[in-house]
Amino acid sequence: MQIYGFSLDCERLPAPLPIWRATVRAETWQVIARALSENGGRLLALWGSDRTEGAAGGLVISAAYSGRDGLLWIDLPLAERAATYPDLLPFFPCAGRLQRAAADLLGVVAEGVCDRRPWLDHGAWPENYRPLRRDQSPRAAGPHREVTDYAFVRVEGDGVHEIPVGPVHAGIIEPGHFRFSVVGEKVQRLEQRLGYKHKGIEKRFTELSPLQAHRLAGRISGDSTVAYTWAYCMALESLAGCQIAARASWLRALLLERERVANHLGDLGALGNDAAFAFGLAQFSRLREDWLRLSRDALGHRLLMDLVVPGGVTADVDQATAARLADQCDRIEREVRELHQVYDEHPGLQDRFLTTGRVSPDLAARLGLTGLAGRASGQAADLRSDWPWPPYDQLDVKVATQHNGDVAARVSVRFDELLESLRLIRVLLSGLPEGPTRSELRLPNKVAFGAGWVEGWRGEIFVALEYDGQQGANCIRRCHCHDPSWQNWPVLEHAVMGNIVPDFPLINKSFNLSYSGHDL
Amino acid sequence: MWRILKQIAKNGIRSEAPPECSDELRVEGERIQHALLEILGQALSIRQVDAGSCNGCELEINALNNPYHNIEGLGIRFVASPRHADMLLVTGPVSRHMEQALRRTYDATPDPKLVVAVGDCGCDGGIFGESYASCGRVANVIPVDVAVPGCPPPPIEIVRGILTAVQRCRTLPG
């Protein structure tokens, strides 16, 4: 069939969003990448898998693109073991780290790339151990080793000095290393080293039962637990042909929007605090605590973990609870509007926010900035409105966008999205359809592929799932989870250039990217 | 400015009473401050180390600083350097890549020091367990005084864990 102007032998996965899967040959791999990059398509994810089964199968490299026809998942089977594949870096800058990660985890390399530094592998795993290869066990591979140093790019010149920060940061933050090259107070270059939190999630998935693994998905990035479990469950339900009940999808959206509100409340306070406005932190952290407490009382968990499950949800809302949740939306909205005005009218705060950490819409488009940060730089993409899957097809989500791409724009998008989510929650509560909250999910007795694609609060979360149900195996062969932070971390390096070092925490917080979701 | 003052006046003080320690009935803020002073001779300084968590525990540890829990009001504060700390609050299964950083942070913390492991992963490796990339529970890497289970533990349980570790410090000889 024709997709993105190509005639590809595509299969549409039975997911609620348009997701297509095709297998291509090496020569087509780059042709598709070029055509998509020229027509506004984006590289969403890139990952490698080992599909060896006895003498059959082999290594496969996969890419997921998003664009006007939805999501396109492309598989490229590699000819021999230790095989290579054509480089995507010339078309998509974000491919760089994704390809380095695939090299670390599976030992497949892109042809002709200059940067061959390991990314997720810090040298501590057993020698030559490639965790996603099926023929390797870490025990056989040898002992663990000490972590190795990383070859940061050196900036030379008069008065340049380096500031190394991390992995243990000076606050309650996740670990990662930032290497600043500065002249005076001005940042010439920032280089990140991530991967400190790599804890083998993708390998761990293959050891869990498909009906239990949503708990692991919910712990890829704790702040996005609803988005990840929904994406995982969507993938599992799509390969099992399970249609979830209307009430279940409405409740999932309720949870997803509550997660968005909780995170935006937290970030808006922290952003005030990072600009020395402690009042903002006190007020917003109070609202966030109110929000989390009602989540616990009404839904059972402060951060909403493990409420989305394969086939539906475990939480339900009766009429009295719905009234309480809606009341709280009204109250929070009143307070947020008041605080919005305080933020807007505070000259000291605006002085720190405006023009700081700027990513122009043009740069954002070239580097593939996505999600909330992308919307603050004119990239008006939001799955809830672009591909409104149930129940978003009945909600008419208003996408919040800004064009300045600075900290102020990212603050502004958060305020707008927060208020929009409060509206959505009230609509969801008033229109909750009757019916069951969980449907039966029957796993197929064959090899099957499923995918999930959900707009989390940070951006789009994608899960690619390969399931093996042959001869009662009922196991996960591969589960790749993609966090939007992969796209946005490299853009943060650009956003910081030319800013002063003390503004880095503020700029970093305005992106608020996930270390855990990236490192896996 | 008047908006800020109005907002502050309208909301008043929202701090709540801290939780009871595991071995005592409900204690008041003042008594906790007193106990901290008596045991440590100073306010309690905590260095938080995320050794590989999913960041859920960090969200709840951050909540300790909100006006309801007001942990600074009890004389407990988070510091930027392990050299200023009395206690390490460690989350996550310890990833292989954080093992060395965690050991170094522990070594940089002056004696006597306390370690509180937070969350199911910190207690027993949680859903991540032990693997090529994960060392499992915090106690596999550094000595742990108190472990607080929960996924993530609510803020009140984290405070309880912190206070229990300090109390334990009093009952230990020397």
The one-character DSSP state at A446 is: S
What phi, psi does A57 have (nearest 5°)?
75, -165
* Cis preceding linkage at A391, omega within 30: yes
Taking CA–CA distances from B3, the nearest residue in chain A reads: A342
- Does residue A6 form part of some domain? yes
Residues of A in contact with B80 (CB under 8 A): 170-171
Diameter of chain B measured on Cα atoms: 57
| CB pair distance less than 8 Å for A199 and B61 | no
Identify the domain containing residue A271 by its residue range: 201-432+454-511
Give A68→chain B minimum CA distance, Å.
33
Residues of B in contact with A213 (CB under 8 A): none
- Does residue A59 form part of some domain? yes
Identify the domain containing residue B41 by its residue range: 26-171
Interface test with B, best of A130, A172, A173 (most B CBs within 10 A): A172
Does the beta carbon of A222 lie under 8 angstroms from any beta carbon of chain B? yes
A92 in the same domain as A234:
no
- Does residue B8 form part of some domain? no
Residues of B in contact with A225 (CB under 8 A): 54, 56
A94 in the same domain as A218:
no
Q: d(Cα A499, Cα A360) in Å, to the nearest integer? A: 15
Q: d(Cα A232, Cα A213) in Å, to the nearest integer? A: 8
- Does residue B7 form part of some domain? no
- Does residue B1 form part of some domain? no
Does the beta carbon of A62 lie under 8 angstroms from any beta carbon of chain B? no
- How many residue contacts between A and B have a Cβ separation below 8 Å? 166
Q: Can you give the three-state secondary structure of B50-92, one letter per residue?
A: ECCCCCHHHHHHHHHHCCCCCHHHHCEEECCCHHHCCEEEEEC
| CB pair distance less than 8 Å for A339 and B126 | no
Q: d(Cα B120, Cα B129) in Å, to the nearest integer? A: 10
The CATH number that applies at residue B147 is: 3.40.50.12280
Q: Is the dihedral of CA B2, B8, B9, B11 positive or negative?
A: positive
| CB pair distance less than 8 Å for A282 and B56 | no
A479 in the same domain as A370:
yes
Predicted local confidence at residue B75, as pLDDT: 86
Residues of A in contact with B61 (CB under 8 A): 172
| CB pair distance less than 8 Å for B131 and A167 | no
Put simply, the chain A residues between 296 and 355 with a CB less than 8 A from any chain B CB are: 296, 302-303, 305, 338-339, 341-342, 345
A208 in the same domain as A112:
no
Phi-psi region of A356 (alpha: psi -120 to 50; beta: other; left: phi over 0): beta
Among candidates A172, A303, A305 on the partner chain, residue whose Cβ is nearest the Cβ of B48? A172
- Does residue A252 form part of some domain? yes
From A505, A484, A473, select the one nearest A210 (Cα to Cα): A473
Per-residue confidence in pLDDT tens, chain A, 520 aa: 566 667 788 889 999 999 999 999 888 999 999 989 988 899 999 999 999 887 777 899 999 999 888 999 999 999 875 679 999 999 999 999 999 999 999 999 999 898 999 999 999 998 888 999 988 776 656 678 888 889 999 999 999 999 999 899 888 999 999 999 999 999 999 999 999 999 999 999 999 999 999 999 999 999 999 999 999 999 999 999 999 999 999 999 999 999 999 999 999 999 999 999 999 999 999 999 999 999 999 999 999 999 999 999 999 999 999 999 999 999 999 999 999 999 999 999 999 999 999 999 999 999 999 999 999 999 999 999 999 999 999 999 999 999 999 999 999 999 999 999 999 999 999 999 999 999 999 999 999 999 999 999 999 999 999 999 888 889 999 999 999 999 999 999 999 999 999 999 999 999 999 999 999 9
**A201 CB contacts (<8 Å, ≥6 apart)?**
A216, A220, A481, A520, B128
Put simply, the chain A residues between 404 and 463 with a CB less than 8 A from any chain B CB are: none
A498 in the same domain as A361:
yes
A213 in the same domain as A355:
yes
Q: Is the dihedral of CA B39, B43, B47, B53 positive or negative?
A: positive
Q: Which two tokens stand for residue A90?
A: 């010339």
Burial A80-91 (b: 16+ CB within 10 A, else e): eeebbbbbbbeb
Per the DSSP assignment, residues forming a β-bridge with B90 are B49, B117
**A170 CB contacts (<8 Å, ≥6 apart)?**
B80, B81
Collapsing DSSP to helix, strand or coil, A145 comes out as coil
CA angle B38, B41, B44 (to 5 degrees): 100
A187 membership: H or E segment, kind and range: strand A186-193
Q: Please give the tally of structural domains in chain A.
A: 2
In B61-169, at which residue ranges do the beta strands (DSSP E only) sit? 76-78, 87-91, 114-118, 146-148
**Amino acid type, A239:** L
Q: d(Cα B48, Cα B50) in Å, to the nearest integer? A: 7
Give A40→chain B minimum CA distance, Å.
33
**Cα A162 vs. chain centroid, distance in angstroms?**
30
In A375-510, at which residue ranges do the beta strands (DSSP E only) sit? 447-455, 460-468, 475-482
Taking CA–CA distances from B136, the nearest residue in chain A reads: A199
Beta carbons of A372 and A457 less than 8 angstroms apart: yes
- Does residue A439 form part of some domain? no
Q: Please give the tally of structural domains in chain B.
A: 1
- Does residue B146 form part of some domain? yes
Calculate the CA dihedral of residues A150, B101, B47, B64 and round it to 10 degrees.
80
A96 in the same domain as A221:
no
Residues of B in contact with A205 (CB under 8 A): none
Query: What is this structure's pTM?
Result: 0.94
A205 in the same domain as A140:
no
Residue in the block written with tokens 């309720």: A254
The CATH number that applies at residue A83 is: 3.30.460.80
The CATH number that applies at residue A229 is: 1.10.645.10
Beta carbons of B66 and A286 less than 8 angstroms apart: yes
